[in-house]
Chains A and B, each alone.
Chain A
């Protein structure tokens, strides 16, 4: 027999002014099963909580209803209080008299009646509550960081410095990411590689960090604290242990005409290559699609040249399985390519570049060694036009969002160009200048005022080539939309920042949500910016949204702090609001008939198949089982189950039915 206590709170005037709390307490006293009902000014205060604890002991309560504010506000408070009095905390429920009643209705009998109804509903629910116990899961104290750009490097270093093991997985042959391609960085114009490469080396040398470059995540199973990740280590065709990185193979490789990804196609590389001289690890890979030996069966120059005999043509991809407790996603971004711009010639003109290509052109380690030469003929460009918002904020291009970094890097580009070509003319077409950030606007002003970059507010409708020049046609909206035509030698499109290729597939592999543009979705836009909706998977950098370097680094450290906090514990406890499949004695075993139609309803793949075996080992029945570590308690499976075999703790069929039948 239930012995329920009802505690009605006035919340000062908040409830008391519109609801007759005394009457609510009195009505509640007459509900069958209620043995104690009081009202008090502030239930959440110390004396208020004391009243609840006292009553539990004095009346031997088996359930508590606190009629006060929203459970989203004070449920933990009252459940703790109840637990302190020795009652299972999950035997306490709250009736929401404040947000759902007193604050939204006028003072009067109807409102008091509604308040009494709300209490009655919760009393009937709590009668069907079961004592529940937090779920404990162990934690594997090793993190997996996906993506070896600055976000991944920073996150890995911070986690490693906190004393935990990290595996840093990067899909290309070297860590470094986009930042390693940049020439100089805004707003300080310090050389990107000079500040990045020490961190790359640090990551490689850190005793807690294992680097896996030229590798990708194949599969992820498990749940927070207990993930099992399968990594595909792509075949470098090289024994990394033997290779000393001397580079002889690269020098002698006869295949030298392959467009160089690191230089964004502006340079060429060999078939056996390291992406750039400062690569970490400094171990080459063989690009089998372009290698003469792999294409024709003849060559093997690299094998002949290698002083340590490290070349392995027959090496295969290798699958490695890792137990990890947390993941940091730091897979970065890509930029829209110029071929997406029909109005600017479908990417056919070699002198129309995207921002990353310009970075390589301006970089001291780039294909021109930092000398301004336009790609078509190697001449020094005398007029360069920069187009901000190329593709961004443009619904027709499918990118309605702002790419965030372009205003700043366009100013930087124009500035770098002016520093290198003193007599050159730099023109920027822009929509707005968005330069929020420390020292950012000052930087843009410097470009305009000190470096004489001409800023034209307007869009460019067309670029075509005429008499060896690129004719850039636009409008100057500050001059009443007057047509502007500039004959340029080179055009740089600040193309949109987009989610990395394969983001959608990766998100689905990991069961994290993503936005319509395939950027990974944070758990809460303001309060949980580095968490995903999947516990134990965190976000860092531009895989979530366009970001600049300082923001990326800050977020990476944030994600690392979350991982470190998770790893500070040996065990995790989770709310026991999870689904459970009922179990019965033989021969029924469970109401579950094993149709598993609930399986696809589960957003977390938490429903497994369990074989119930007889003494002889034969399978008697296959039924569903919920992995409590994976289950997040949405209850979609419950509504799907025809036999009512599956139910959810805390919101069980009996509880909800009892609530409904009270109305």
Chain B
């Protein structure tokens, strides 16, 4: 299988381990990732609240680049990138005038490249994953989807919006036991990570507490923002909760990688703030 790959900025910086683990797992499963040539920012966090045309044009250029490289499908592991790409496609499809404006700005039509998130791609590979498990990730896990993968449901059309299942099924395939818990799509505080750490501590704190209460030994995520908020902001969270939560927060690809027998360093597990390596 050959698929386009759009890492986006997070995966080059704060979430390098997501990039590393996606590449490692895809490599182990025989998937060839073809990076979109000369890719640019997806516009996440800011463009869509400032300028609708820009918010559509930035993803449109990425997709045009992908189309020009002969790619039919592009994997965007970052949930924010995924959401922006899909939303831009949607607004362009619904608004011919916007489509024209964007086409003029980009110099090429938006094309019909299909954008996939990491769970969608892994879901296709589930039989292969199951067949290649070497060291089952035998822990109770809370699968945390956040908001960007499933919302707005009419645009992303992925999984059940309020109670998604895809990651739970993948975790189970890796040998983990997913717990039932009510915070699967609760807000983590997202980009307030920098500006309002107090809010992030409150919101992410509830999520973490929920996971622990449900008996989870690890939280699995598929979004760089969820991961940083639950991991990097742990001191603030713990301060607020008055507890010392040590539950690690892993990308689903890291958990799968471990189960597939890949080395923890190749999966970037040493990069976490809350030690994950020691507990995996």
Contact = CB atoms under 8 A, between A and B. Distances in A.
A adjacent to B, CB under 8 Å = yes
Interface of A: 342-343, 345-346, 462, 464-467, 471
A466 B210 contact: yes
B213 interface: yes
18 contacts: A342-B160, A342-B161, A342-B162, A342-B163, A343-B162, A345-B163, A345-B182, A346-B162, A346-B163, A462-B182, A464-B182, A464-B183, A465-B182, A466-B182, A466-B210, A466-B213, A467-B213, A471-B182
Nearest to A349: B182
Interface string B212-246: 01000000000000000000000000000000000
Contacts of A465: 182
B147 to A, nearest CB: 12
A398 to B, nearest CB: 13
Nearest to B206: A466
B50 to A, nearest CB: 24
Which 7 residue pairs across A and B have the least CB separation, nearest first? A464-B182, A342-B162, A343-B162, A342-B163, A346-B163, A342-B160, A342-B161
Contacts of B182: 345, 462, 464-466, 471
Contacts of A471: 182
Given A342-B162, A346-B163, A466-B213, 15 more contacts: A342-B160, A342-B161, A342-B163, A343-B162, A345-B163, A345-B182, A346-B162, A462-B182, A464-B182, A464-B183, A465-B182, A466-B182, A466-B210, A467-B213, A471-B182
Interface string B140-184: 000000000000000000001111000000000000000000110
A465 to B, nearest CB: 7
Interface size class for chain B?
under 10
A371 to B, nearest CB: 29
B202 to A, nearest CB: 11
Chain B contact surface mostly: loop
Interface in B63-91: none
Contacts of B210: 466
Nearest to B183: A464
Interface in B185-230: 210, 213
A471 B181 CA distance: 13
B39 to A, nearest CB: 35
A471 B213 CA distance: 15
Interface of B: 160-163, 182-183, 210, 213
A464 B206 CA distance: 13
B154 to A, nearest CB: 9
B186 to A, nearest CB: 8
A471 B209 CA distance: 15
B251 to A, nearest CB: 25
A342 B163 CA distance: 7
A119 B240 CA distance: 88
B161, B163, B182, B210 — which one has the most chain A CB atoms within 10 A of its CB? B182
A462 B206 CA distance: 14
B212 to A, nearest CB: 12
A462 B161 CA distance: 12
A342, A343, A467, A471 — which one has the most chain B CB atoms within 10 A of its CB? A342
A345 B182 CA distance: 8
Contacts of A467: 213
A345 B163 CA distance: 8
A52 B162 CA distance: 74
A332 B270 CA distance: 64
Contacts of B162: 342-343, 346
B272 to A, nearest CB: 27
Contacts of A466: 182, 210, 213
A592 to B, nearest CB: 49
Nearest to A467: B213
A466 B206 CA distance: 11
Contacts of B183: 464
A343 B163 CA distance: 8
Contacts of A346: 162-163
A466 B182 CA distance: 8
A462 B182 CA distance: 9
Contacts of B213: 466-467
A44 B213 CA distance: 85
A471 B210 CA distance: 12
Contacts of A464: 182-183
A467 B213 CA distance: 9
A73 B241 CA distance: 78
Contacts of B161: 342
A462 B210 CA distance: 15
Nearest to B185: A462
A345 B185 CA distance: 12
A637 to B, nearest CB: 41
A55 to B, nearest CB: 64
Contacts of A342: 160-163
A116 to B, nearest CB: 49
B245 to A, nearest CB: 16
Contacts of A345: 163, 182
A488 to B, nearest CB: 14
Nearest to B162: A342
Nearest to B161: A342
A620 B213 CA distance: 84
B160, B161, B162 — which one has the most chain A CB atoms within 10 A of its CB? B162
Nearest to A465: B182
A462 B213 CA distance: 19
B187 to A, nearest CB: 11
B161, B163, B210 — which one has the most chain A CB atoms within 10 A of its CB? B163
A343 B162 CA distance: 6
A243 B240 CA distance: 71
A343, A466, A467 — which one has the most chain B CB atoms within 10 A of its CB? A466
A468 B195 CA distance: 35
A400 to B, nearest CB: 16
A345 to B, nearest CB: 8
A640 B246 CA distance: 77
A464 B163 CA distance: 11
B156 to A, nearest CB: 15
A342 B160 CA distance: 8
Contacts of B160: 342
